[in-house]
């Protein structure tokens, strides 16, 4: 009963000094809202980065092999070392036990593609028929290049959504003939849109043809710009990459100590690096938010300490009618807890709209981490009690005789 009465006394004090209470709540609310919004920004950034990387690399159960040493960006026939052969792809598929299947690629970025009076210069990819499965892409209309297309070196093409818009506008491209480097190709499919890659460039400005057709009838090259090996067990991708490296060094007759004339990329390692970078970013953002919460605690301590000086007479009066130091300490801690918890709840409500606004600005789905939100409300209550401890202790030490005389 005594505790209930002390709680009622504390609530009456909060209402009586409501202006001061509102300022204390605002400090905590800002901290909670900032924490929630920044946490959402970090999570949105992480998800968007992973999505963009997946759009560019395809599935994460693959190992990619490019010719030449360490390179940046996508190589093409105009800047590639002709060291990676079709026979290398066949050897990887045949001799590496951990490899499920292998896709081959030739590509160029400097070939004109035209239809009637429209002309563009998209990326032109010559790929094997299993490219679609390894990349995780989808065909929106028509069909993809087949094994028969590759075997017979058919002049057929599958185009990206940007190419479709540029050359055909609203008309259906299926069955139409486009010219790639002056060579006629029949459009047999349209890829579903994949959006942008990590650098922001469109991944839909692309034309895909059979790799044998590209090699013999368009590019006139017997080397590849990429080999993609799908691993049977994603956890073994590092071992598979090492095995591929040993095999290629042997096939290319590279003596010990000589640099590789190829470059192997493990998407799992790339994803791990990006995750670490984004985790660091999230930690920094949360640190900034925690500083905001700390500031809210300082506001509570400052205003409550000021309030103790103004409420000396009230404290002295309570002590004169039987309240002990523990009672005064409990009341002021209760006031700090209620104010901070209320500020936390209000901050959570505000953060809901803030997260929606930030997501709309980023053009990404809103991410609400309910556990993080509940944790921030609990943290707000803890901050209130911790920073309210000094003012509560100071109130409990007030001399009742001196207080009544003031």
Q: Which of 15-19, 162-166, 260-264 holds the top average pLDDT?
A: 162-166
* Residue 264: pLDDT over 70: yes
Per the CB < 8 A criterion, the answer to whether 88 and 224 are in contact is yes
| Residue boundaries of the structural domains of the chain | 2-53+272-405, 69-260
* Residue 55: pLDDT over 60: no
* Residue 304: pLDDT over 60: yes
Q: What pLDDT sits at residue 391?
A: 81
What whole-number percentage of the chain has pLDDT above 70?
77
Residues 215/221/225/226 CA torsion (nearest 10 deg): 50
What whole-number percentage of the chain has pLDDT above 90?
31
* Residue 189: pLDDT over 90: yes
Lowest mean pLDDT among 78-87, 147-156, 277-286: 277-286
Burial class (CB in 10 A: 0-12, 13-18, 19+), 97: exposed
Calculate mean pLDDT across residues 175-202.
86
* Residue 362: pLDDT over 50: yes
Q: What pLDDT sits at residue 172?
A: 93
Q: What pLDDT sits at residue 186?
A: 96
The CB density around residue 391, as the number of other CB atoms within 10 Å, is 23
Calculate mean pLDDT across residues 248-263.
91
For residues 293 and 25, the model is more confident at: 25
Residues 6+ apart with CB under 8 A from 184: 155, 177, 178
Calculate mean pLDDT across residues 28-36.
78
Q: What pLDDT sits at residue 14?
A: 74
Q: What pLDDT sits at residue 152?
A: 95
Lowest mean pLDDT among 89-98, 211-220, 333-342: 333-342
Q: What pLDDT sits at residue 341?
A: 84
Concatenated DSSP letters of 15-84: HHTHHHHHHHHHHHHHHHHHHHHHHHHHHHHHHHHHHHHHHHH--SSEEEEEESSS--S---TTT--TT-
Calculate mean pLDDT across residues 92-120.
92
Q: Which of 282, 375, 351, 354 is nearest to 43 (CA)?
A: 282
**Mean pLDDT of the residues in the chain:** 80
Q: What pLDDT sits at residue 286?
A: 66
What is the H or E stretch that residue 178 is in? strand 177-180
Per the CB < 8 A criterion, the answer to whether 120 and 89 are in contact is no
Q: What pLDDT sits at residue 278?
A: 57
Per-residue pLDDT tens digits for 122-147: 999 999 999 888 877 789 999 999 99
Calculate mean pLDDT across residues 301-320.
74
With residues binned 3-state (H G I as helix, E B as strand, rest as coil), the percentages for the chain, rounded to 5, are 55, 15, 25
* Residue 1: pLDDT over 50: no
* Residue 276: pLDDT over 70: no
Lowest mean pLDDT among 26-35, 279-288, 349-358: 279-288
Per-residue pLDDT band for 36 (boundaries 50, 70, 90) equals confident
For residues 261 and 10, the model is more confident at: 261
Q: Which of 207, 180, 228 is nearest to 126 (CA)?
A: 207
Are β-strands 123-127 and 156-159 bridged in parallel, bridged antiparallel, or unpaired? unpaired
């Amino acid at each position: 009963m005594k505790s209930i009465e002390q709680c009622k006394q504390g609530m009456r004090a909060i209402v009586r000094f409501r202006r001061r209470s509102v300022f204390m709540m605002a400090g905590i609310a800002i901290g909670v809202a900032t924490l929630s919004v920044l946490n959402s920004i970090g999570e949105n950034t992480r998800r968007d980065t992973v999505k963009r990387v997946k759009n560019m690399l395809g599935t994460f159960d693959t190992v990619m092999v490019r010719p030449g040493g360490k390179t940046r960006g996508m190589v093409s026939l105009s800047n590639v070392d002709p060291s990676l052969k079709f026979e290398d792809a066949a050897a990887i598929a045949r001799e590496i036990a951990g490899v499920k299947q292998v896709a081959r690629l030739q590509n160029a970025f400097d070939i004109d593609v035209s239809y009637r009076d429209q002309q563009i210069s998209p990326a032109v990819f010559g790929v094997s028929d299993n490219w679609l499965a390894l990349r995780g892409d989808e065909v929106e209309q028509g069909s993809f290049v087949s094994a028969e297309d590759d075997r017979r070196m058919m002049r057929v093409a599958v185009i990206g959504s940007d190419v479709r818009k540029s050359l055909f506008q609203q008309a259906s491209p299926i069955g139409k003939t486009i010219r790639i480097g002056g060579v006629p190709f029949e459009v047999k499919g349209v890829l579903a849109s994949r959006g942008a890659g990590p650098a922001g460039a469109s991944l839909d400005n692309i034309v895909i043809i059979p790799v044998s057709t590209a090699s013999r009838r368009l590019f006139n090259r017997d080397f590849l710009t990429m080999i993609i090996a799908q691993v049977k067990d994603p956890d073994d991708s590092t071992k598979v990459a090492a095995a591929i490296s040993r095999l290629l060094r042997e096939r290319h007759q590279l003596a010990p100590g000589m640099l590789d004339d190829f470059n192997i990329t493990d998407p799992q390692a790339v994803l791990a690096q990006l995750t670490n970078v984004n985790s660091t970013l999230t930690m920094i953002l949360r640190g900034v938010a925690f500083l905001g919460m700390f500031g809210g605690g300082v506001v509570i301590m400052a205003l409550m300490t000021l309030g103790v000086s103004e409420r000396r007479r009230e404290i002295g009066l309570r002590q004169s009618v039987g309240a002990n130091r523990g009672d005064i300490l409990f009341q002021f801690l209760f006031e700090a807890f209620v104010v901070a918890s209320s500020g936390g709840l209000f901050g959570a409500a505000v953060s809901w709209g803030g997260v929606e606004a930030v997501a709309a600005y980023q053009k990404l789905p809103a991410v609400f981490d309910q556990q993080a939100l509940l944790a921030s409300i609990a943290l707000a209550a803890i901050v209130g009690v911790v920073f309210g401890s000094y003012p509560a202790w100071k109130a409990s030490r007030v001399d009742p005789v001196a207080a009544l005389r003031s």
